[in-house]
Chain A
Amino acid sequence: MASGMQEKQYTPSLLSFFIYNPTFGPREGEEEKKILFYHPSEVEKNEKIRNVGLCEAIVQFTRTFCPTKPAKSLHTQKNRQFFFEPEDNFWIVMVPWFETQCIEKPNKDGKPPTIEYQEEEILDTVYGAVVRQCYSMYKLFNGTFGRAMEAGGVELLTQKLEKFFYRYLQTLHLQSCDLLDVFGGISFFPLDKMTYLKIQSFVNKVEESLSLIKYTAFLYNDQLIWSGLEQDDMRILYKYLTTSLFPRHSEPELAGRDSPLRPEVAGNLLHYGRFLTGPTNLKDPEAKFRFPKIFVSTGDGYEELHLIVYKAMSAAACFMISASVELTREFCEQLDGLVGPQLTLLASDICEQFTINRRISGPEKEPQFKFIYFNHMNLAEKSTIHMRKTASVCLTSVHPDLMKILGDINCDFARVDEDEEIIVKAMTDYWVVGKKSDQRELYVILNQKNANLIEVNEEVKRLCATQFNNIFFLD
């Protein structure tokens, strides 16, 4: 990740976030050694130790009842703490806090206002997932904790943690976390067969002529089209691309200041290609050819790769190359010359196809419903509730309480693995439908206050017929 700005500004929604390993300071007075990272760092030492102590106690206590399954969260009147043990004895603890968690109730006859805590404001599943995500993100760019330990002991690990989380925590937007974070899904770009095959053959040809490239991923409009990486690695990489890298670069494009046509490239082919990682300008003699390194899992363990993200208009291609190779200016120029024009061409092809398909499907009138779809099999995710996620926030178009109801239903589904359907009517008279079929989950919010169960069911059937006619949904 490009080196970050210096001024401290933590997300207000994060009360504290710390990582500890109880085995590092077993003896009295050594407790501080257990703490590998603590945010906010300015917290007084003893308080840090105290809080870590509590977590240890909770975890230890829970073991007396379920030794195999460790504690995941602690609920108190004022907040919730989330525990995650990603590697043996390494614990990550996150304590989010939102204004909405407490309301001041003014008291008559001059008494001080009583504070009322909304203990159900936070969904365990959501923030449990967020903690896991934090770890996966660290792992993507640094490998496991264990690796750092082997390489340079606690010292190196704490450095890495400091370096990574200092910046990463600022990019967390806990307030806007919801069901989608639980899924951690991937949004796929809808595409006709032919164009897809074109992209296939593009990827294959590039990988053939630039044999250094080990894996390729192809995205359009921040949606995935092709991944040569395995699912779980792609999942977290996708998260990084769509919530961090792309947004950082999209601003100029949105402002219409897209990288200008570059006629000077080899073969005088005009193209819009540019590197999102690595050198911003190939022509710059000072240009550095360093790319972010990522770690992806292989059959046994992990491998370290350079991550090259190259974008032309709305099409982005990620090329991953073994980190053992030194990437040179020549290579980058070669890649730029080869990929730039083709990618530019493809981009406009896709755009064309997309608009055609649009026109076929006809102009969409604002539907009565909003929905979220997720398929555990391929992590495919689709939401008409969320406006496009930007770096800053992800805007949802429905009331937070409804989102939480979705979360509740999702928890319900998680309990059993059989198919299930749940239809509830909220106090606000919104209908919320949850459908779980095989590995798929569909959540629909209907704004038809006067509809009854039957009509709601019909509405959902219609939705499935239009949006999901090509997949098998048990009725």
Chain B
Amino acid sequence: MDGQALRPTASWENGTLAPVDRLRAERADSPTPGLVEGTEPGAGQKSAMFVHAQSFEDLTAEAEEEARRDDELDKSGECAEELKVLVGEKTIEEQRNNSISSESRSKEEDVSSEAWRSHRKHVFVLSEAGKPIYTRYGTEEALSSTMGVMMALVSFVEAEKNIIRSIHADGCKVVFLTKSPLVLVGVSRTCQSDKELLRELQYIYYQIVSLLTLTQLNHIFQHKQNYDLRRLLAGSEYLTDNLLHRLDRDPGLLLSAVTCLPLASSARDVVSSSLQAAKAKNLVFSILLAGDRLVTLVRKKDQFLHHIDLHLVFNLVGSSSSFREGEGWTPICLPKFNTAGFFHAHISYLEPASELCLILVSTDREDFFNMSDCKQRFLERLSKRSAYQALKEALKCPTYSVAQVGIPELRHFLYKSKSSGLYTSPEFPEVYHSDEEQERLMGLYQDLHSCLHHPTRPLRSFYRCSETENLLAWVTSGFELYLCFSPLGTKALAVSAVNKLLKWIRKEEDRLFILSPLTY
């Protein structure tokens, strides 16, 4: 897939990639598709917080370049890595003991049973030697032969100077992703496109890298080709499980964006500045979360955090309750930032019962006490101001109802501001209360997403009128918009709804988005 995203899509991306500073005054009230990126609702004022990712492909783009970087790093800190891993492993180990995994792992399943087969989505990770590393369902042992076959297929095709991508049968597809030294295989009964599945495998890949670093991985397999990686990853499977669960439900991972806690800009600015004030030498990122929602993020100048890395952090925090015990200190590799080395994250909740979780990312593994000191300073500044109260208030309603927009036929929507990498979306309405319904809707959004971002035939807009709902998706240089209407809604309605909604978002943008991200 290398670089496909640069093909026709490029036409409307070129030139507008860099965020443009704009004064609020200049922003149009009802945005039009023509508006320049950086002025769409939710666009950041200064430079954005994240590495830009219009669509997923650009991740694979830098594959080789990554490799190069690894080699260099490899030489330098080999022994150092070892240690880090051990530390890393330890902490993960203890997390495992009190981890509440979102999905009860049905390890003891009979892998020849219909029940096992009929899971909606299987994910397998194996080494290039064909050794099992991870399976979502069943035990790796039971599947070693199956994974052996997978590897055989991969290498057979490779022998022909070719790469296996996927196998298609009615209602079932198998997708292969080779990320040396790992091979990831997804088996899905959903109607997701290969690309969507690939994207999910990528996430899994990065999840594993984030635990070990790519350097570490390469190193291990260079030395011992059929090393059983599970020894290192033991106890961390629930992270992968959770990530897979998120992938099914969290629009953020689909949109390559994160969503924020609705909060008055005044309050948010105070929180940000307090965080900004609490800086330290090796501190790279300070992130304040409310559940899965971003409150604010402060970063070192010209250090960008990629949304994937952020999601991995979210996953780490969200998957484990151990951090509630007090201040956590854990090494974490942010693969989109650097696949070679570990950062060290200081993770703690502002108050035991609170949803507010502070993550301070440092480059120095000895920095624990500096970080915890930063936290204290932040808390002091914060509690001095009324902002903290406002923040706590905001926590009470972390989401909003679509009814506020005032379009009866509108059931739900996703809106992503491209330049800021942030998105907003209301809570699911009554009809989608069940998990199945919510995942179905997500599935529909995924469809739209992959249609619009088709590698060779991307689309500007997509309207589908079906028996269950009417959907409209629209991509401009500035934003991506996905709407879900009642199936009895008309096209005329859809068109007018878009404008009305964009106006509404513009009106609400300083609550829903982080318009002025800060750096130290």
State the CA gap A429–B33 with chains docked (Å).
13
Annotate A40-72 by CB proximity to B: 1 below 8 A, 0 otherwise: 000000000000001001101110111101111
State which of A29-37, A168-176, A382-390, A400-408 sits at the interface with chain B. Answer: A400-408
Chain B residues near A419: list those with CB within 8 A.
466-467
B156-213 interface with A by 8 A CB criterion: 156-157, 161-172, 174, 187, 191, 194
Flag B121-158 by CB within 8 Å of A: 1 or 0 each.
01000000000000000000000001001101100110
Does residue A424 face the partner (Cβ distance < 8 Å to B)?
A: yes
Give Cα A65 to B456, complex, Å: 30
Best-surrounded residue of A66, A71, A457 (most CB of chain B within 10 A): A66
Docked Cα-Cα span, A81 to B191, in Å, equals 20
| Inter-subunit contact B456/A401 (CB<8 Å) | yes
* Given A62-B174, A422-B463, A118-B167 contact (CB < 8 Å): no
Tell me, rounded to whole Å, the shortest Cβ–Cβ distance linking A362 to chain B.
30
Given contacts A62-B167, A65-B187, A72-B170, is CB(A427)–CB(B458) below 8 Å? yes
Contacts of A57 in B (CB 8 A): 149, 152-153, 156
The answer to the question of B98 belonging to the interface, with a C-beta cut-off of 8 Å to chain A, is: no
Does A78 have its Cβ within 8 Å of any Cβ on chain B?
yes
> A69 to B11, Cβ gap below 8 A?
no
| B282 CB to nearest A CB, Å | 39
> Contact between B166 and A69 (Cβ–Cβ < 8 Å)?
no
Instruction: Please tell me if the beta carbons of A427 and B169 are within 8 angstroms of each other in the complex.
Output: no
Query: For the complex, is A124 an interface residue (Cβ under 8 Å from B)?
Result: yes
- Shortest Cβ distance from B3 into A: residue: A116
B465 touches A64 (CB 8 A): no
Does A119 count as interface, using CB distance less than 8 angstroms?
yes
Q: Mark B8-36, 1 if CB is under 8 A from A, else 0.
A: 11011000000000000000000000000
Q: Which residues of A contact B459 (CB under 8 A)?
A: 405, 424-427
Q: Residues of A contacting B153 with CB < 8 Å?
A: 54, 57-58, 61
> B456 to A121, Cβ gap below 8 A?
yes
Min distance, Cβ A240 to any Cβ of chain B, angstroms: 28
CA gap between A116 and B2 in the complex, in Å: 8
Q: Knowing A65-B187, A119-B1 touch, does A427 contact B166 (C-beta < 8 A)?
A: no
Contacts of B227 in A (CB 8 A): none
Q: How far is the CA of A214 from the CA of B164 in the complex (A)?
A: 51
Contact, CB under 8 Å: B457 / A71: no
One of B163, B191, B451, B466 near A424 (C-beta < 8 A)? B451
Report yes or no: A453 in contact with B463, Cβ–Cβ below 8 A. Answer: yes
Residue among A58, A405, A423, A429 making CB contact with B463, cutoff 8 Å? A423
Most chain B CB within 10 A, of A60, A419, A423, A429, is at A423
Closest chain A residue to B117, Cβ basis: A65
What range describes how many residues of A lie at the interface?
35 or more
| Contact across chains for A77 and B467 when beta carbons are under 8 A apart | no
Q: Which residues of B contact A75 (CB under 8 A)?
A: 164-168, 194
Asked if A71 and B451 make an inter-chain contact with CB atoms under 8 angstroms apart, the answer reads no
Query: B458–A424 contact, CB under 8 A?
Result: no
Q: Is B494 part of the contact surface with A, judged by Cβ < 8 Å?
A: yes
* Contact of B162 with A76 in the complex, beta carbons under 8 Å: yes
A230 vs B166: C-alpha distance when bound (angstroms)? 38
Chain A residues in 8 Å Cβ range of B400: none
Within 8 A of B (CB), among A372-418: 401, 404-405, 408, 412, 415-416, 418
Interface of chain A residues 114 through 132 with chain B (CB within 8 A): 116, 118-121, 124
- Residue with the greatest number of chain A CB neighbours at <10 A, chosen from B1, B146, B169: B169
CB-CB under 8 A for A404 and B174, given A415-B191, A424-B463, A453-B463:
no
B166 touching A71 by the CB < 8 A rule? Answer: no
CB within 8 Å for A69 and B170 given contacts A61-B153, A422-B462 = yes
Q: Is A66 in contact with B169, judged by CB distance below 8 angstroms?
A: yes
Q: Write out the residue numbers on chain A whose beta carbons fall within 8 Å of the beta carbon of B157.
A: 54, 76
A65 to B461 alpha-carbon distance, docked (Å) = 35
B80 contacts the other chain (CB 8 A) = no
Smallest CB-CB separation from B111: which chain A residue? Answer: A64
Task: For residue B301, give the distance in angstroms from its CB to the closest CB of chain A.
Answer: 33
Given contacts A73-B167, A116-B3, A120-B457, contact A54 B172 (CB under 8 A): no
**A452 on the interface (CB 8 Å rule)?**
yes
State in angstroms the CA–CA spacing of A369 and B401 once bound together: 41
User: B492 an interface residue at 8 Å Cβ cutoff?
Assistant: yes
Which B residues contact A (CB, under 8 angstroms)? 1-4, 8-9, 11-12, 117, 122, 146, 149-150, 152-153, 156-157, 161-172, 174, 187, 191, 194, 447, 451, 454-467, 491-492, 494-495
Query: Which of A's residues lie within 8 Å of B, judged by CB?
Result: 54, 57-58, 60-62, 64-67, 69-79, 116, 118-121, 124, 401, 404-405, 408, 412, 415-416, 418-427, 429, 452-454, 457
Q: What 4 additional pairs, Cβ within 8 angstroms, besides A65-B169, A424-B463?
A: A71-B168, A120-B455, A415-B191, A424-B461
15 A–B contacts, CB within 8 A, in A order: A62-B167, A62-B169, A65-B174, A69-B171, A72-B168, A77-B163, A78-B161, A401-B456, A408-B451, A408-B457, A416-B467, A422-B463, A423-B464, A424-B462, A427-B459
